[in-house]
Structure 1
Amino acid sequence: MIKKMILLAFIAFSSVAMVAQTTVTGTVKDAKTGETIPGANIKISRKAVGTTTDFDGNFVLQVTDKPPFTLEISVLGFHPEKIEITKNNQKVIASLIENETSLDEIVVSASRTPERIMESPVTVERMDSRSIKNTSAPSFYDGLENLKGVDINTNSLTFKSVNTRGFATFSNTRFMQLVDGMDNSSPALNFALGNLLGMSELDVKTVELLPGASSALYGANAFNGIMFMTSKSPFEDQGISVSLKSGITSQDAAGDNEFKDLNIRMAYAFSDKFAAKATLSYLKGTEWYATDYRNTKDGSYTSGDRNSDRNYDGLNVYGDEVSTNLRGVAETLEGLGILPSGAAALVPSENVSRTGYDERDLMTYEAKSVKFGGSLNYRPFGDDRLEIVWNSKFGIGNTIYQGTNRYNIKDFLMEQHKLEVKGKNFFVRGYVTSEDAGNSYDTRFAAININRAWKDDNTWFGEYTGAFVQGTLAGLTADQAHAVARQTAESGRLLPGSAGFKAAFEEVIQDPDLVTGAKFQDNTKYYHADANYNLQDITDWAEFQVGGSYRLYSLNSNGSIFTDYDGPIEYNEYGVYTQAQKKFLEEDRLKITASIRYDKAQNFEGNFSPRISFAYAGGENKNQNFRASFQTGFRNPTTQDQYIGLNAGRGFLVGSAPDNLDRYTTSPLTVSGGGQFIANNFGTTPIGSTTSISGRMAYENAFSQSSVEAFAADQSNLPTNANVALVKPEKVTAFEVGYRGIVPTGDSNISVDLSVYYNQYEDFIANKNVVVPFYGDVNLTQTAPVGPGGANVPLALIAIGNGDFAGFQTYTNSAADINSYGASIGLNTKVFNDFNLGLNYTYSKFDFDQASDPDFEAGFNTPEHKVKLQFGNTNLFKNFGFNINARWQDEYRWESTFLDATIASRTVLDAQINYSVPTWKSVFKLGGANLTGKEYLSAPGVGAIGSQYYLSWTINN
């Protein structure tokens, strides 16, 4: 037995010895300074076999391949080098040339083919793992705000919205975000929830961002811009990496609160053919408290609070939107005999609102995010000619989303699963994205229905009016009578923190019926497939590409958001495209790229999106590059634009897909006694004490809201028919010119990146607020006599006067001429030999005549001027570096369905210092965001953004 074991061990040892046939050793150096380069990648060309240099820049590579073969040596920031290996035990000395500028980095997104940023035909911004390590922001996603032309609007600690070139919103449906080729927008909300289903910081290889329209290659919704996040391959980047980050957030309203951020990445290549990786991210902290209690009863900030305004509607107070006219209540009570005859005359025609609850009473403000990702990668031939990838991502967490209302997104789950086959010149992939809203809820309806749980609106306003009449009859002044009335109506109020409040709160947030509850219920998903093939190995005259995509939506909110009462709503869209790229002139200095794409969505006509661009590389080293492009973009109406059916409290939202108009009807609405008499005696449709309004009426029998407001101010201004057309895709035509180049300045060079653009929009998707009368037609043809022998008055105007109407938000397109234009310039250089200095400026301007469409609110939401500064040194002295980022932007107007307001200018300072410990394979970083401590708002209604301080320890990355 022992002899057999020795024999087997000898055979095993011999086989191992025979497998390890070739050994290569070497050193990698910086060609300019002669210093060795740690962490350089050494691999056999087109294979996963390889290693990295140690902290002294040396490597030993043992492989089964027999010479000759090619080694590829690369590291971020340097030009890669290839070395031929011709014998065993060959010793290699590689000298890498540092990139002259970041413009020498390679990008793929601009033309779907590798090219230097310097030679890209359109504007490209880029962040790689090296710049991520050096960012002063608390996370790589926050650090995107330091890129030229990029805006980030902070909804909450865990939800940042990335945008370029205007029209920023938290529901940013005009900007796409792709993670390893997958669109990670929410299927129901139609926009990315920041990095909730994004990527672990340790797994990010590159982030490429294309500002402006990109529909010619990427289809619908690549309208304002598109961002590509690409992860590291388990074949190329192996090992276990860990990042531990902890710190505090500091805000006046919330105080100082701890946050923690943990990231783990594990990757291993089991062979040339099979590799796998897994990533885990966990973040927990406290959201920015929203505590702006200014009065917003007229849709903007006004003076007055609950003590001075009886119809108070605080910004971050909910439930006080429920308001009614006291005179109308008194007349009803008098008609029912509850109040004595003549009592109504004692009550002023004045609106009064219920007492609301502060947002901080309705949210836990717990920020949490857990992300898991994994992939299985298989290369049938043992190299990168063909690779099959299965990739799954899961993200669950808590955040805050501000749309028409403020939503507490709690235990929200999104997941994606992708199967992809790719090679040197092609890819084919299919994936599914699904979501579960978990325990999310609408804070406005939570407050409204908690109020109604302890006392319904009719009782509350009835008690208020009755107490007011009694107080007036007792000789109290109006202010005194109102105070007594509110005190009387408030009897039995559930106080925040009490057992009764907690019980009512829990019941309401688990109820998806907004008449009685507040739960945000959704299980929507979409299925997507796309493919691309580059014919560069087949065609010699030019580089041709062809591709296409298909998407199927399945809306499933059980009737709580969409009109999917009787089952999921399904619809599809698809697109095909082609691109040709040809180089001309000596040394291929002129590059012309032409693309065209055709897209068709189920509910809309087809759309063509062309693009043509010119790029000329001048100068001795092709370092003076000029570009010009013409391209188009389009955006399909979102799932909500088409199929929403929702009572938002302040009005009803109804999508305008043709099959949606009759599917949606409101809950029963109360009709006045006088309105019932008029409608039943002079109208064409009988009406009872309540009525319901269909979605079709909002589009076909409604007044514009602005004309109703004008009529209320002056009854000689008759309200006008809104004439709301059904929504269709919006389009943009974009013109851009730019320059990228190197300007010599003695000992160092300045890299310059300049772009100027002009955008023309057509059929801009817009919301139009309308008013639907309960009876009568908006063309004012149906009339009734008012008073004995009185003149005939249109029934619809009588309905407006009686308060017998409902407000709707419709989805349509603006016919107004809308344009935007802007420019950006970025300058980067080295000063004092090794210090990096960067400065960029962005100008954005919106051109729109409000008088051409008074009811349209574009929501450009972008500062006109932005300046960003970066200063740092990655190696100030041995193993020590630092980086400072400063940003300034001027004030701008924010427009949204939540509130319109002016956002003040701000200056934000971020900084970090870092220290490397090579023997531990570790980097320690100490940093902070908004170090001046001056709090600022991204939009009205969100929490004021305070300061964030952190200490991180990153191992083996």
Structure 2
Amino acid sequence: MRQLFLLSTFMLLGGVTAQAQINMAGIVTDDKDQPLSGATILIRGTNIGTTTQNNGQFELETNVELPLTISVSFIGYQRKDVLVRGNNFRSLTVKLSEEVVTVITGELVLAPSRVPEDIQKAAVTVEKLGAKQFQQSPAATPFDALQNVKGVDFLTQSLAFKTVNLRGFGSNNNSRFLQLTDGMDNRSPGLGFGFGNVAGISDLDIDNIELIPGASSALYGPDAMQGLMFTSSKNPFTYQGLSVQLKVGANNFGKDDFGPKGYGDVAIRYAKEVSPRFAFKVNFQRFSGTDFIADDYSDRQTRSRANFLATDPNRVGIATGIGYLQNSNANTNFQYDGLNIYGDEITANGSAYTFPKDYANVLLQNKLVTRTGYTELELLGNNGKVFNNRANVSLHYKLPGNIEASVGWYYGNGNFIRTANFREYFPDYQRHQIKAELRGENFFLRAYTTQQKAEAWNIGQMATAINNSWKSLGQWAAEFGQVYIDNKFIVGDSRATADRGRYLPGSDRFNAVRDAFAKTYNTDSVPGYRGAKGLGFRDNSALWHYEGMYNLSKFLEVAEVIVGGSIRHYALNTGGTVVALKPDGSEYTIDEYGAYIQASKEVKLSMVTVKPTVAVRYDKNQYLDGGFSPRASAVVSIGPHNFRGSWQSAFRNPSPNQLFSVPGTGKAGEVGGLQSVAESAGLVSNPAYLDSDVNDYLNGRITEDQLRGRAYSPTTFKTEKIKTWEVGYKTLLKDKLYIDATYFQSKYSDFIVAQSFYQPTTGQISDLTTNAYRVLQINYNNTNEVFVNGWAVGAEYGLGKGFSLSGNYAHQVGTVTLRDAQGNVINDNAGAPIIKRKMSNPEVVQKGRNYFNSPENRYNISLNNPQLIDRLGATVSFRWTERMWFEQGITAGDVWLPAWTSLDAQVSYKVPVWKSIVKLGGTNILNKYYSQGYGLARIGGLYYLSITFDELMR
């Protein structure tokens, strides 16, 4: 592969011929003839550009043939395209008018079709955020500004780790959404999900972010099912000089026993054009503070509870809603299981005890009692401290023929908590990405590698390990039971007596036990702890990726045609702690390849412009069947009115975890979907049964023979697929009213879901009646028909005197037709078939999880004025998200997550003499705590003050 890449490079370079250089020069001013310093000048269709000096003047050397078009833009002003000819290229004068709306309306975008095109005329829905949006957003970072984009659902797992979700199936670890950073996949090679802002680009170096909701596999391959985020950094030829940002802030207000807590953030960027051909840049950013804390200690709602769903006795036990009554008082509740308290889980091995049916006291017979757990802060022992480092060094060289060669090193490091089936703590994540790229007007070649060190431990299992290393569950329960009988049946006194001598958080013994289990992998025994397995796991996996694209338009007059392809190699390195090892003890590797072709043609018919586009891609993973993902789209432009429509298909390869995971020896675990993995987990010799089927059996709705007939049977694992059609409309009327609306319908097939199955301990069905089983999350392609329909609209209106009012509303509904393994429609408990019912419907929930985890409705409203008074600007935004049905992990729970609101605001002041902006802002400034996912940290107010110096020493 490497030789092929190098050969292609030399072939392209060998065909390059020198062209005559021209040196453009000019000045950029506002309507009042005042020079604009820092305005950006780009040659349309290329990455060649520069910015203006303090006096508004610029020079730009290029060998692009005249005539050409330059695009001139500046924050707060309307972008202008200027035609450059042989008679004006040395004396260009560009006047920019103040912009009424803040949305990007005339910019070029790259992500929708891989070639530059006007955002107004993109045939698919696309959002773009640039310097203007970042500056005027109340969000503390450019990444956080995405939460104001229509249809975006954030899941905040940690202050430095946030996940973008679009169009349903919200996930803490969204493997259906593709994040590209300068063209590089942002995901963890082994864990299989994007790390978002943990290891992205330094805030000062982000040029723009393009976001495409919906299927994008036709050009970008696997995993771009629900959307694509393309983050581009600043080119050192265009953005030069020294930039510095200093930020201080605070969060965790209103917590008498904890907050408030401060944080600091410093970023430095330096870029220099050493010569007309060579430039470089260096970036570094350091953030440190205190995380938002997962401190919801209410009694957990989970389907593992007895009588969890309320039923209607008049309709044969059909579910009507949540029936479990929470009791958050551990002194009165035998089964108290605090949501963010660990080691007290009712289903986790070693955390709960069921007294025998022949126990001496009848009041305790068959009674389940949970141990006393530890909070997240107690287990971490770091008082919630969080840090994040990002760095980048890039070298750029211009070759003849408008070809730019670059090589870059990207580094990310930090600690964070992620939520998968359990909460997991990564104390020192590190990632290196190294990229080499050649980019010309009609092609690019790119090669990069991702190398990471990701070691972590399970927070919930750690609490159980600490408890059991002090006193066995059986001994603890015996002491609890004795006191309960002798002390007038008081739960609180019984717990307190059984807990005497328990390891106290922060004590030397507590820390010694925690560190011993954290530093020992889950494949090894912890020395001195009677053969107990460690809790540490690692994903030190690597990825190598090679890709290229060529635009054949110069050779074909009939249409614009691009072709491209990619080769990818994963080298897993988990030591069996995350995914299985091969039978010979070696690590798995994964090879993938794909190729695509796209053709488009713009046709002008009088006052109407039509641009149809068709594309198709083929991809193959070595463990799965290959497949095609076609796309057809068109945009029709009539004056300022742009109508778009598309039909798209996409697919997702299972992540390495979903392919190869094997459960440990505990009472819970995850199983990959490959048949060989299922066999190694004993699922052939000792079958497992879907939790809803087990519930039907225990309640007498099906017989033992019927249950056996529904046992999990490993079959061929397939890629997950989606087909989507959507229509949209975009316009900017009289530079004052902007509208962007879209409607879509999607259908999934071979949907991959990790569903809860019960595996009897001895293989006997009777084990299920005595809680003698383990709970497995088995990844498989279910036969359900899954549908997601929705619409979204965004609008902005210029109110005059610099004010603009903007807002967006998004609506999405997930429905499902449930089918059994034989493809038959499943009936609810009243006998009615479940066809296209909402996945939050209790009658559907009763039959198993679907993990839609997305609000049906949400909206944002913003009022903005970048020049409120002279150099003072301000923005105020309000965000609302409707309540949603949320299903999380093995034990985390099933719950209606409450609706939430957030009021955000910022004021900024420009100091031109220092090329600086001072910004005071905050999100959730009313400090109304909310959670974006069940069991996640509760988010309160975040307040900050920043000063940014831009392009000093230019």
- TM-score using structure 2 length: 0.85
Output one character per residue of 1:451-505: Cα deviation in whole Å (capped at 9) or x when no partner: 122123343334445x35xx74x6x54x15x666545543431111222112212
Which residue number in structure 1 is paired with residue 266 of structure 2? 262
Structure 1 residue 597 and structure 2 residue 605: aligned?
Answer: no
Q: Report how far residue 607 of structure 1 moved.
A: 1.2
Matches within 5 A, 1:610-629: 610-619=630-639, 623-629=640-646
Which residue number in structure 2 is paired with residue 79 of structure 1? 80
Pair 320,120 (structure 1): closer, same or farther in 2 beyond 3 Å: same
Give SS of 1:956's match. strand
Q: Report how far residue 170 of structure 1 moved.
A: 0.7
Q: Report how far residue 423 of structure 1 moved.
A: 1.1
Structure 1 residue 280 and structure 2 residue 284: aligned?
Answer: yes
Pair 346,402 (structure 1): closer, same or farther in 2 beyond 3 Å: closer
Which residue number in structure 2 is paired with residue 95 of structure 1? 95
Which residue number in structure 2 is paired with residue 823 of structure 1? 791
Structure 1 residue 942 and structure 2 residue 928: aligned?
Answer: no
Give SS of 2:260's match. strand
The whole-number CA distance in structure 1 between the counterparts of 2:587 and 2:334 is 44
Structure 1 residue 531 and structure 2 residue 541: aligned?
Answer: no
Q: Report how far residue 522 of structure 1 moved.
A: 2.1
The whole-number CA distance in structure 2 between the counterparts of 1:713 and 1:64 is 77
For the 8 Å contact 1:121–1:614, the answer to whether it is kept is yes
Aligned match of 1:405 in 403, 418, 422?
422
The whole-number CA distance in structure 2 between the counterparts of 1:876 and 1:628 is 39
Which residue number in structure 2 is paired with residue 504 of structure 1? 513
Which residue number in structure 2 is paired with residue 859 of structure 1? 851
Amino acid across the alignment from 1:764: F
The whole-number CA distance in structure 2 between the counterparts of 1:169 and 1:66 is 46
Output one character per residue of 1:638-664: Cα deviation in whole Å (capped at 9) or x when no partner: 111111123495512111223323444
Matches within 5 A, 1:524-923: 524-564=541-581, 566-586=585-605, 589-619=609-639, 623-647=640-664, 651-664=668-681, 694-697=682-685, 701-714=687-700, 717-718=703-704, 719-720=707-708, 721-726=710-715, 727-744=717-734, 749-776=736-763, 796-849=764-817, 851=828, 852=834, 855-897=847-889, 898-923=892-917
Give SS of 2:726's match. strand
The whole-number CA distance in structure 1 between the counterparts of 2:514 and 2:801 is 62
Pair 23,150 (structure 1): closer, same or farther in 2 beyond 3 Å: closer
The whole-number CA distance in structure 2 between the counterparts of 1:543 and 1:62 is 28
The whole-number CA distance in structure 1 between the counterparts of 2:874 and 2:904 is 11
For the 8 Å contact 1:769–1:855, the answer to whether it is kept is no
Matches within 5 A, 1:28-39: 28-30=28-30, 34-39=33-38
Q: For this pair of structures, how many residues does the alignment match?
A: 857
The whole-number CA distance in structure 2 between the counterparts of 1:295 and 1:135 is 37
Give SS of 1:559's match. coil
The whole-number CA distance in structure 1 between the counterparts of 2:62 and 2:222 is 48
Give SS of 1:216's match. helix
Pair 323,930 (structure 1): closer, same or farther in 2 beyond 3 Å: closer
Q: Report how far residue 354 of structure 1 moved.
A: 1.9
Which residue number in structure 2 is paired with residue 310 of structure 1? 334
Give SS of 1:80's match. strand
For the 8 Å contact 1:78–1:98, the answer to whether it is kept is no
For the 8 Å contact 1:251–1:944, the answer to whether it is kept is no
What's the % identity of the aligned pairs?
33
For the 8 Å contact 2:46–2:441, the answer to whether it is kept is no
Give SS of 2:888's match. coil
Pair 42,554 (structure 1): closer, same or farther in 2 beyond 3 Å: closer
Amino acid across the alignment from 2:765: L
Amino acid across the alignment from 1:497: G
Which residue number in structure 2 is paired with residue 518 of structure 1? 535
Amino acid across the alignment from 1:835: F
Which residue number in structure 2 is paired with residue 454 of structure 1? 470
Q: Report how far residue 344 of structure 1 moved.
A: 7.6
For the 8 Å contact 2:666–2:774, the answer to whether it is kept is no
Structure 1 residue runs of 4 or more that deviate by more than 6 Å after TM superposition: 21-25, 43-50, 62-71, 97-101
Pair 369,348 (structure 1): closer, same or farther in 2 beyond 3 Å: same
Which residue number in structure 2 is paired with residue 157 of structure 1? 159
Output one character per residue of 1:534-565: Cα deviation in whole Å (capped at 9) or x when no partner: 10111110011111112212221111111127
The whole-number CA distance in structure 1 between the counterparts of 2:872 and 2:800 is 17
Pair 252,939 (structure 1): closer, same or farther in 2 beyond 3 Å: farther
Structure 2: gaps of 5 or more residues? 1-20, 309-323, 524-531, 819-827, 829-833, 835-843
Give SS of 2:105's match. helix
The whole-number CA distance in structure 2 between the counterparts of 1:543 and 1:568 is 44
Matches within 5 A, 1:33-48: 34-41=33-40
The whole-number CA distance in structure 2 between the counterparts of 1:122 and 1:516 is 51
Amino acid across the alignment from 2:773: F
Pair 112,372 (structure 1): closer, same or farther in 2 beyond 3 Å: same
For the 8 Å contact 1:279–1:373, the answer to whether it is kept is yes
Q: Report how far residue 878 of structure 1 moved.
A: 2.4
Which residue number in structure 1 is paired with residue 356 of structure 2? 328
For the 8 Å contact 1:311–1:323, the answer to whether it is kept is no
The whole-number CA distance in structure 1 between the counterparts of 2:934 and 2:22 is 65
Amino acid across the alignment from 2:552: L
Q: Report how far residue 105 of structure 1 moved.
A: 1.4
Amino acid across the alignment from 2:326: S
Structure 1 residue 442 and structure 2 residue 432: aligned?
Answer: no
Which residue number in structure 1 is paired with residue 377 of structure 2? 360
Output one character per residue of 1:810-846: Cα deviation in whole Å (capped at 9) or x when no partner: 1112212211111111111211242122121111111
Matches within 5 A, 1:179-258: 179-253=181-255, 254-258=258-262
Of 630-639 and 521-530, the range deviating more from structure 2: 521-530
For the 8 Å contact 1:168–1:861, the answer to whether it is kept is yes
* More contact order relative to length (CA 8 Å, sep ≥ 6): 2
Pair 169,43 (structure 1): closer, same or farther in 2 beyond 3 Å: closer
Q: Report how far residue 696 of structure 1 moved.
A: 4.1
The whole-number CA distance in structure 1 between the counterparts of 2:406 and 2:625 is 35
Give SS of 1:562's match. coil
Matches within 5 A, 1:89-128: 91-96=91-96, 102-128=104-130
Pair 542,43 (structure 1): closer, same or farther in 2 beyond 3 Å: closer
Q: Report how far residue 772 of structure 1 moved.
A: 2.0
Which residue number in structure 2 is paired with residue 684 of structure 1? none
Q: Report how far residue 22 of structure 1 moved.
A: 11
Pair 409,74 (structure 1): closer, same or farther in 2 beyond 3 Å: same
Structure 1: gaps of 5 or more residues? 1-20, 332-342, 665-693, 777-795
Q: Report how far residue 62 of structure 1 moved.
A: 9.6
The whole-number CA distance in structure 1 between the counterparts of 2:898 and 2:494 is 39
Which residue number in structure 2 is paired with residue 680 of structure 1? none
Pair 773,132 (structure 1): closer, same or farther in 2 beyond 3 Å: same
The whole-number CA distance in structure 2 between the counterparts of 1:48 and 1:498 is 58
Q: Report how far residue 593 of structure 1 moved.
A: 0.2
Amino acid across the alignment from 2:600: Q
Of 387-396 and 98-107, the range deviating more from structure 2: 98-107
Structure 1 residue 929 and structure 2 residue 923: aligned?
Answer: yes
For the 8 Å contact 1:882–1:914, the answer to whether it is kept is yes
Amino acid across the alignment from 1:408: Y
For the 8 Å contact 2:71–2:80, the answer to whether it is kept is no
The RMSD of aligned alpha carbons is 2.9
Output one character per residue of 1:902-956: Cα deviation in whole Å (capped at 9) or x when no partner: 1222221111111111111111111111112211111121121110111111001
Give SS of 1:660's match. helix
For the 8 Å contact 1:766–1:856, the answer to whether it is kept is no
The whole-number CA distance in structure 1 between the counterparts of 2:215 and 2:69 is 40
